Structure 1
Amino acid sequence: MADHGGRRLLLVSTNYAPEQAGIGPYATQIAEHLAAEGDEVHVLAGMPHYPAWRTDPAYRGVWRTEERREGVLIHRRRHTVPARQTAVRRALYEASILAHSLAAPPRTGRPDAVLAQLPSLAGGVVGARLARRYGVPYVPVVQDLMGAAAVQSGIRGGGRAAAAAGRVESHVLRCATLVGVIHETFVDKVAAMGVPRERIRLVPNWSHVARPSRPRAEMRARLGWREGRTVVLHSGNMGLKQGLEVLVEAARQDPAVHVVLMGDGNQRDHLRSLGAGLPNLHFLPPAEEGEFPDVLAAADVLAVTQRASVLDMSIPSKLTSYFAAGRPVVASVADRGGTAAEVLRSEAGVLVPPENPSALLAAVRKLAEDPGAADALGARGPEYVDAHLSREAGLARITGLLDEALQGPPARPRGART
């Protein structure tokens, strides 16, 4: 145990603050929560790069660094950052994370447990190996699975990459003391990899943003969104998997609808080119953390999109933020999978077929024609957050998962090695 009487914990997560999108905020809040509870918390992380897929200027040229944030000691290791996604480039990205992390592991002393955030294959392998080296519990939390993502994201060579990634994921998860999954749609998939169901725990993500605090009219005026014009906002990563072309085409089909894409990603330039000349299509940089909830709340409709080929078990982090903003969600996604399930369960949005701009526009127009119904639909989001997605409940589930692993779950299956 650590000298101060708490536990010494190591969290392996390629993504971490100051990243504000994806799994970075969850890793950050987990680590800071555990530190606030009195634990000595170390994080092995990469250099900030998501969702822009460009290394943060403050970290360019840095090979290794240590920094302390909110009581957490972060050990960063340099890695490649592919501006364009292919199977080979993604493999090099993961390999560079793995090689540097194993060549220069953080000097933490013996931890009491090792946690890891997947889908980083490298992070999963590193976490498992460090846990085995020290003979301590290993607890990965599955935010997504790289095997499925490689096929569904449109990455070239995705089929071969998926097979290789799936084998690594299966091996890493079978080594775990307990496996946390963020949605029930992952349970069967993880069990099929050879993880006993009695070792799988449901630990849903939470809404990690504050509630809006400014009047909508004030923020709309600041953003230049005039009253009476319908604003559809997408916030977050602009990657292949999102299929954001559907929103560009929606803007092309209906000049009266103002479409805003806020964020960054490797498809941003492609989307700009595709929508060149459309006066009702606008791109915004990621909002500052303090303004983000108010920008979301200023929109009329919040959009989440995925390609038709994607049957995504994960829950986009943007969705929990959307619910907290109190605006109706239009989800252009397959009607199975984690995103669709959460939208239906929350009753805070509507589903439309993916990659169908006409269907998306029809849903947006229906909401615009009945503002009262739209407001009522959006109001269910914060109610759902309070009931199921509060930060306190989410962090308590993570703490419970860690406590159970430290107390000793059922014996590890024979032959499980890393």
Structure 2
Amino acid sequence: MHILIVTNHFWPENFRINELAVGLKNRGHDITVFTGVPDYPEGRFYTGYGWFKKRSEDWKGVRIHRFPLIPRGNGRALNLILNYLSSLFLACLHIPFVCRERYDAIFVFDTSPVTIGLPAVLLKKFRSIPLVFWVLDLWPESLSATGAVTSPKAISLVKRLVRFIYSHCDRILVSSNSFKSNIKEIGGYDGKVDYFPNWVENEYLFEDQDVLNHDLPEMPGGFKVMFAGNIGAAQDFPTILAAAECLRGYPDIHWIILGDGRKASWVKDQVKSRGLEKQFHQMGRFPAETMPHFFQQADAMLLTLKNDPIFELTVPGKLQSYFASGKPVIGGIEGEGASIIREAQAGFSCPAASPELLAKCVLDMYELNSEERQAMGKSGQAYCNAHFDRDVLFARLEDTFYDVVAAYNRCDDIKETSASEAYETP
């Protein structure tokens, strides 16, 4: 089967779609990727890439066609708007001309912005190819929840755009079961919606022996609560900082932050102004293959999201990676993410945006002995193996493609038959 993957981000950017593309290739499929020139997260083109550089290449047997765009720069509103609009216009302009092979199915990896679905819809209409759309982020709800867009007119416009994209999908996949009602009721989609969660990426399962070649910082001693990922508005760092202040009297508790993002500078300033330098450590961003090295030094992993209805439906992809590490999880989250932590018996959780309760969860974890924490970590690993196994999920996706392609072909056969019957002489 020849599958065209349409995505905002792809290798050398670090997203799950990289592993999925190679995984499908290794299962015997022909994979082509249509994506933008890489600029995430630095906000500038990667070395060797540009408007007219490396527009087509091959990576691990996967063909890549890239469309140009305006880099996101410092991530401020104007930069993001220019990045989103240029991506939309130039992707739609390029896809009919660069993706000219015969494809059995189109697969959209829906990271923000959701407009990546439009060039896929365009090609579907031009070439009559079934479209599978994987929703990892609900729009327009996530825009208003993070404060990125506040205009009711803009939100309404994005909502109509989302409904248009969904209406042209042959199957929608969701990374959280809680997304299903939103896709149906707000998105207006009346087709089949399947649950397809994130899996644990290979980098998080095994420690790379070459990790020692990286210049890695030394961890502080004591009890380490570790956060890994994007430092943005959605991750609710005001609550994390307030919880750290609540535990100022426990100098042996350290907050380790791995990652970068739009709020990183703000967090750094807050740590200094609150006098938390001895306990709160921003280590910076490191390659994915180094994460097992860091995770194994943690005593607990930290997961937080803002207090907003949209985030109650969300299961952050890092939760699977945390479970796979064998470390207990502390969640300052609501909804499905909290339910999974409880169901897995893999740690403690409390309501979002509750600094005192988050501090209590950290303190409760701190007061457990190492055997009790280890038992929680093993429980999370077992849950991960049962529900988020990579090979099982890839096989399920493969079956989805076969099902959608077969149904689409049957539909075309019916249309052709009906058309021919209409012209038969009575």
Return the TM-score normalized by structure 2.
0.85
Alignment of 1:284-299 (within 5 A): 284-299=283-298
Q: CA deviation at 1:160?
A: 3.8
Name the residue aligned to 2:265. Answer: 269
* 3-state secondary structure, aligned to 1:180: strand
**Could you tell me whether the CA contact under 8 Å between 2:25 and 2:61 is conserved in 1?**
yes
Give the Cα separation in 2 of the matches to 1:238 and 1:136: 38
Task: Calculate the aligned-residue CA RMSD, in Å.
Answer: 2.5
The residue type equivalent to 1:70 in the other structure is K
Q: Check if 1:9 corresponds to 2:7.
A: no
Give the Cα separation in 1 of the matches to 2:343 and 2:90: 42
Q: Check if 1:67 corresponds to 2:57.
A: yes
Name the residue aligned to 1:118. Answer: 110
Q: Check if 1:186 corresponds to 2:175.
A: no
Give the Cα separation in 2 of the matches to 1:176 and 1:35: 23
* 3-state secondary structure, aligned to 1:233: strand
Q: Percent identity?
A: 22
Q: CA deviation at 1:156?
A: 4.2
Q: CA deviation at 1:35?
A: 1.5
Structure 1 residues 27-36 or 133-142, which shifts more?
Answer: 27-36
Give the Cα separation in 2 of the matches to 1:232 and 1:62: 44
Name the residue aligned to 2:324. Answer: 324
Judging changes above 3 Å, is the alpha-carbon distance between structure 1 residues 59 and 252 closer, same or farther for their aligned structure 2 residues? farther
Q: CA deviation at 1:42?
A: 0.9
Give the Cα separation in 1 of the matches to 2:259 and 2:230: 6
Matched residue count = 393
Report Cα offsets for 1:223-274 as digits up to 9, x if no partner: 53354x1111111111111111222233333342211111111111111111
Name the residue aligned to 1:19. Answer: 13
Report Cα offsets for 1:187-207 as digits up to 9, x if no partner: 11111122225x212212211
Name the residue aligned to 2:422. Answer: none
Structure with larger Rg: 2
Q: CA deviation at 1:91?
A: 3.8
* 3-state secondary structure, aligned to 1:408: helix
Give the Cα separation in 2 of the matches to 1:145 and 1:290: 29
Structure 1 residues 234-243 or 251-260, which shifts more?
Answer: 251-260
Judging changes above 3 Å, is the alpha-carbon distance between structure 1 residues 235 and 34 closer, same or farther for their aligned structure 2 residues? same
The residue type equivalent to 1:361 in the other structure is A
**Could you tell me whether the CA contact under 8 Å between 2:307 and 2:352 is conserved in 1?**
yes
Judging changes above 3 Å, is the alpha-carbon distance between structure 1 residues 390 and 263 closer, same or farther for their aligned structure 2 residues? same
Report Cα offsets for 1:45-70 as digits up to 9, x if no partner: 12333344444344356566112111
Q: CA deviation at 1:116?
A: 0.5
Structure 1 residues 58-67 or 303-312, which shifts more?
Answer: 58-67
Q: CA deviation at 1:146?
A: 2.0
Report Cα offsets for 1:167-225 as digits up to 9, x if no partner: 1111111111111112211111111122225x21221221114325499xx9xxx7533
Q: CA deviation at 1:18?
A: 2.4
Q: Check if 1:231 corresponds to 2:224.
A: yes
**Could you tell me whether the CA contact under 8 Å between 1:302 and 1:330 is conserved in 2?**
yes
Q: CA deviation at 1:93?
A: 2.5
Judging changes above 3 Å, is the alpha-carbon distance between structure 1 residues 52 and 324 closer, same or farther for their aligned structure 2 residues? farther
Name the residue aligned to 1:366. Answer: 364
Name the residue aligned to 2:170. Answer: 177
Counterpart of 1:100 (choices 90, 93, 102) is 90
Give the Cα separation in 2 of the matches to 1:370 and 1:378: 13
* 3-state secondary structure, aligned to 1:170: helix
Return the TM-score normalized by structure 1.
0.87
Give the Cα separation in 1 of the matches to 2:358 and 2:143: 26
Give the structure, 1 or 2, with the largest relative contact order (CA under 8 Å, sep 6 or more): 1
The residue type equivalent to 1:9 in the other structure is I
Give the Cα separation in 2 of the matches to 1:52 and 1:389: 30
Counterpart of 2:131 (choices 138, 144, 159) is 138
Give the Cα separation in 1 of the matches to 2:146 and 2:45: 22
Counterpart of 2:241 (choices 228, 237, 248) is 248
**Could you tell me whether the CA contact under 8 Å between 1:264 and 1:286 is conserved in 2?**
yes
Q: CA deviation at 1:92?
A: 3.1
Name the residue aligned to 1:3. Answer: none
The residue type equivalent to 2:358 in the other structure is L
* 3-state secondary structure, aligned to 1:283: strand
**Could you tell me whether the CA contact under 8 Å between 1:150 and 1:161 is conserved in 2?**
no
Unaligned ranges ≥5, structure 1:
1-6
Give the Cα separation in 2 of the matches to 1:52 and 1:83: 8
Judging changes above 3 Å, is the alpha-carbon distance between structure 1 residues 182 and 272 closer, same or farther for their aligned structure 2 residues? same
Judging changes above 3 Å, is the alpha-carbon distance between structure 1 residues 64 and 291 closer, same or farther for their aligned structure 2 residues? closer
Report Cα offsets for 1:389-410 as digits up to 9, x if no partner: 0110121121111111111169
**Could you tell me whether the CA contact under 8 Å between 1:206 and 1:320 is conserved in 2?**
yes
* 3-state secondary structure, aligned to 2:83: helix
